[in-house]
Amino acid sequence: MKTGVYFCNCGQNIAGKIDSQAVKESISKLHPGIHVQTVDFLCSEPGTEFLEKDLRGNGIERVVLAACSPREHENTFMKALSAAGLNPYLMQMVNIREQVAWVTENPLDATAKAIRLIAAAVQRVALHDPLQKREIDICPDALVIGAGPAGLKAALALATAGRKVTVVEKTPVIGGLPVRYEELFPNMECGPCMLEPLLGEVLHGEASGNIELLTLSEVTGVVGSYGNFTITIRQRPRYIDLKTCIGCQECIGPCPVSTKNEFDCNLSDRKAISLPFQGSLPNAPSLDPSVCLRFKGEDCAKCRDACPVEGTIHFEDAECVVERKAGAIIVAIGGDLYDCASVPNLGYGKLPDVVTAAQFERMLASNGPTGGEIRTSAGKAPASIAIIHCVGSLDKNHKEYCSGICCQYAFKFNHLVGKKLPGIKRSHFYREISSPGKEEFLLYRHAQDDPDTSFFRYRDIADLKLKTDKRKIGIRYREGAGKEKGLAVDMVILCPASVPAAGTDQLGAVLEAGRDRFGFFEELHSRTDSAQSKIKGIYIAGACQAPMDIQRSMNQGMAVAGHVLSGLVPGRKLEISPMNAVVDEERCSGCRVCVSVCPYKAISFDPVKEVARVNDVLCMGCGTCVAACPSGSIKANHFTTNEIMAEIEGILS
Amino acid sequence: MKQKDKSQKTEDRKQKTENGGQRTEDRSQMPDVRSQKTVGAPNYEPRIVGFLCNWCSYAGADKAGASQTPYPPNVSIIKVMCSGRIDPQFVLKAFAQGADGVLVLACHPGDCHYKEGNYRAGSRHALLLKLLDQFGIPADRCRFDFVSAGEGDKFIRVITDMVTTLKGLGPLKSQGGTHGNPES
């Protein structure tokens, strides 16, 4: 096997410290007949051209490049090897610039160190395998879980680019939470006005033909990996045919059953067949079999009798399981609010006029339970309200993080309440105020400038005690370390921490996508890759990744669309790096230690052969499994045990 | 090229170090120089193998290079993609092959490019030290540390510190124990 050693002078950067002649002599002594060349600037165009010619001309089979850091020019030289008809992995770089010439005082020491490292590389490169990139066919389509702002933004972007998208939504409606809010911070734009154009595009726009919407559906299983997932979806029946329903709502009135409407935070009633709220999309009711009389054995068909379009209501519909193929999965299931009952001193659940921000949003909404009127449980307009910030946020006993959105909607409430009920006294109790952004300060300033608004800063939420006080709510509070004081108000709005949605863990388990210490879907990198999960091909967008507002959710929706568009291109195969782990099935004892250490779930256990199996699409080539394998049955391509051992020997011989 | 001002830069840095500056504090933590004289040959140069992860520590070593601050030439670096790849066998092999010391450098906790490889490397290292102790190799000869891609200065400090420690300890073979053959 003929090895070529190329020593780059890098002008005087290397040659000024390391004696290339002495290197040549020593290496030739260790490996008689070895081909050693000194080049001035190996990375330059003439340098790589020389390298290519010299490799060809001398029939070199293994290459050692003593030059700068491989972080600088490894790819440059790999390309030169390929151009010379050599496999690019049959090369080893020796970093004699950054790690020798530039940092060694004495030229003799520098030369000796360079010789040690080059000798090691010569020994190592002899063992290199001619690794090949693998290519696989991919499906360029995507599956989106969750039809809120983030999920729909991603779905529409992908559909507009011509990709097929399946949107899986758990509830009967799309639009997520903000479509239920009357006005949104920071510009007081109405929620439906902001979001309905997006929802309309998804349902009826030019690209809507590429979007399949599955409501009342949940993902129950996933097989395959990046580029080729097969997803199992369980779809509960709506009992109303979306294709024929005209949305006239004639069926709702005659329904004899009433129950609490969860879409109004249980503040209103709905029928067994109902629309969650006026204007909800898709514009068709759904039937709730858990309360419908017909599903309790009674012979009621009042809704069907009232329906003007025959064959639209089907009581016979049953749950079905469907399968879809996709190259990427986008998780956008949104978030939830912290359970205020976890802070019992605030009286939530016991005092009827202590409401959560979500309940208050519905109260403000003109399509909500009070038609947009602010009313206490006694049906009166309140003369004073308190808004309690940081309920469960920034609190080591609850959630340590700042949810980031609450201050802004709290000041939005402040504004809206003042507008609806002029002269109403508003008191903010807060631990911290957080309102960054170029538009977000406005509502805060508005509250600060308002003569009827006052601020009280508490140190610990446990210092707030809420009790009934003569038809009002008495708040005992303490500012900082000061004395306890009292304030009586008619209504209290709690601004709870933003938390992961119910079902996050369940879906995470199905997708094998990890959660962080707060239960949100864990991103690949919190700053540089916050829209990717650790599992290749599974992306995360919106409040399921972290507490976030609509702006960030929409941006993340676009970000994941970008990931899919750039990663999965129709007609282009997916290139898989050969630098990954390979299991020797003959040696593998099936102990599964590797399965437990892999951070990317790239290793699975083959129950038939009773061996571990690496999915090279998911493997990132870290080699943690290789070091963990007790029987030495896993090979890290390009970083094999033999290669590294040869390097150790070379350095120390 | 960079050559022209390099020597000047080096001079400046030397001055800086001699005058004290930032590094004085770290020097105070180094072993007593007097103890070095009692062990080993006067010109003894320890041989050290450093296993560095590609993303943080190796980049940190490159950052030290870019600053062109000289440090002792005793450490030969072997790059691995992740500190989690560092098989305890590699460390044993290095000692068996005659290394006086081994350095394992990883990303800081929470910074691992592969999320958790550095934690695995850290726990393997803790176990390995117990094994090395059985071979008569003291923990000072096998050091685990975190060096980020920006910490060129820390890299230099770790190397300098390790070399000073090993000069104080003297060659491994004179320590008795396994005579450099822990694999036997």
Identify all chain A residues contacting B159, using CB atoms and an 8 Å cutoff. none
Contact B62 A112 (CB under 8 A): no
The band of A317, judged by pLDDT with boundaries at 50, 70 and 90, is very high
- Examine residue B11 and state whether it is found in any structural domain, yes or no: no
- Examine residue B12 and state whether it is found in any structural domain, yes or no: no
* Three-state DSSP class for residue B103: strand
Identify all chain B residues contacting A116, using CB atoms and an 8 Å cutoff. 76
Q: How far is residue A173's CA from residue A150's CA, in Å, rounded to a whole number?
A: 15
Please spell the DSSP secondary structure of A448-486, one letter per residue.
Answer: HH-TTEEEEEBS-GGG-EEEEETTEEEEEEEBTTS-EEE
Identify all chain B residues contacting A649, using CB atoms and an 8 Å cutoff. 93, 97
> Smallest CA–CA separation between A165 and chain B, in Å?
30
Contact A110 B71 (CB under 8 A): no
Residue A500: asked if its preceding bond is cis (omega within 30°), the reply is no
Q: Is the CB of B61 inside 8 Å of chain A's CB atoms?
A: yes
Q: How far is residue A531's CA from residue A559's CA, in Å, rounded to a whole number?
A: 7
Please name the residue of chain B whose CA is at the shortest distance from the CA of residue A639: B80
Identify all chain A residues contacting B3, using CB atoms and an 8 Å cutoff. 11-13, 16
What pLDDT, on the 0 to 100 scale, is given for residue B42?
63
The band of B156, judged by pLDDT with boundaries at 50, 70 and 90, is very high
Tens digits of residue pLDDT in A132-159: 999 999 999 999 999 999 999 999 999 9
As a whole-number percent, the residues of chain A with pLDDT over 90 amount to 97
Identify all chain B residues contacting A98, using CB atoms and an 8 Å cutoff. 61-62, 64-66
Give the count of domains, chain B. 1
Its sign, for the CA torsion B92, B94, B95, B96, is positive
Tens digits of residue pLDDT in A192-240: 999 999 999 999 999 999 999 999 999 999 999 999 999 999 999 999 9
Which H/E stretch holds residue A487?
strand A484-489
> Can you tell me the mean pLDDT for B49-60?
97
| pLDDT(B14) > 50 | no
What pLDDT, on the 0 to 100 scale, is given for residue A470?
82
Candidates B51, B62, B67: best to mutate against A (most CBs of A within 10 A) is: B62
If phi over 0 gives left and psi between -120 and 50 gives alpha, with beta otherwise, what is residue B68?
left
Q: Are strands A328-331 and A538-540 parallel, antiparallel or unpaired?
A: parallel
pTM of the model: 0.81
| pLDDT(A93) > 70 | yes
Identify all chain A residues contacting B86, using CB atoms and an 8 Å cutoff. 627
Q: Is the CB of A371 inside 8 Å of chain B's CB atoms?
A: no
Q: Is the CB of A652 inside 8 Å of chain B's CB atoms?
A: yes
Q: How far is residue A44's CA from residue B89's CA, in Å, rounded to a whole number?
A: 40
Task: Choose among A567, A606, A478: nearest CA to A158.
Answer: A567
- Examine residue B8 and state whether it is found in any structural domain, yes or no: no
Contact A95 B84 (CB under 8 A): no
- Examine residue B179 and state whether it is found in any structural domain, yes or no: no
Mean pLDDT of chain B: 80
The two structure tokens encoding residue A557 = 């929706």
Tens digits of residue pLDDT in A27-60: 999 999 999 999 999 999 999 999 999 999 999 9
Contact B65 A113 (CB under 8 A): no
Count A/B contacts: CB-CB distance under 8 Å.
131
- Examine residue B14 and state whether it is found in any structural domain, yes or no: no
What pLDDT, on the 0 to 100 scale, is given for residue B41?
56
The band of A379, judged by pLDDT with boundaries at 50, 70 and 90, is very high
Identify all chain B residues contacting A12, using CB atoms and an 8 Å cutoff. 1, 3
Contact B85 A109 (CB under 8 A): no
Whole-number Cα distances in Å, A20 to A8, A54, A74, A176:
9, 18, 21, 67
Window 72-101 of A, Cβ < 8 Å to B: 95, 97-100
Q: Is the CB of A67 inside 8 Å of chain B's CB atoms?
A: no
- Examine residue B93 and state whether it is found in any structural domain, yes or no: yes
Contact A622 B85 (CB under 8 A): yes
Go through the domains of chain A in sequence order and give each one's CATH number: 3-125 (3.40.50), 142-236+319-334+501-567 (3.50.50.60), 237-318 (3.30.70), 336-499 (3.50.50.60), 577-637 (3.30.70.20)
What pLDDT, on the 0 to 100 scale, is given for residue B11?
47
Identify all chain B residues contacting A113, using CB atoms and an 8 Å cutoff. 73, 76
Q: How far is residue A413's CA from residue B133's CA, in Å, rounded to a whole number?
A: 66
If phi over 0 gives left and psi between -120 and 50 gives alpha, with beta otherwise, what is residue A437?
left
Window 84-113 of B, Cβ < 8 Å to A: 84-90, 93-94, 97-99, 113
What pLDDT, on the 0 to 100 scale, is given for residue B17?
40
- Examine residue B112 and state whether it is found in any structural domain, yes or no: yes
- Examine residue B141 and state whether it is found in any structural domain, yes or no: yes
Q: B135 is in which domain, residue-wise?
A: 62-72+80-169
The band of B115, judged by pLDDT with boundaries at 50, 70 and 90, is confident
* Three-state DSSP class for residue A535: coil
Identify all chain A residues contacting B77, using CB atoms and an 8 Å cutoff. 95, 99, 117
Say which of A112, A117, A599 has its CB closest to residue B114: A599
Mean pLDDT of chain A: 96
Task: Choose among A428, A352, A438: nearest CA to A390.
Answer: A428
Contact B82 A636 (CB under 8 A): no
Contact A506, A402 (CB under 8 A): no
> Can you tell me the mean pLDDT for B163-179?
77
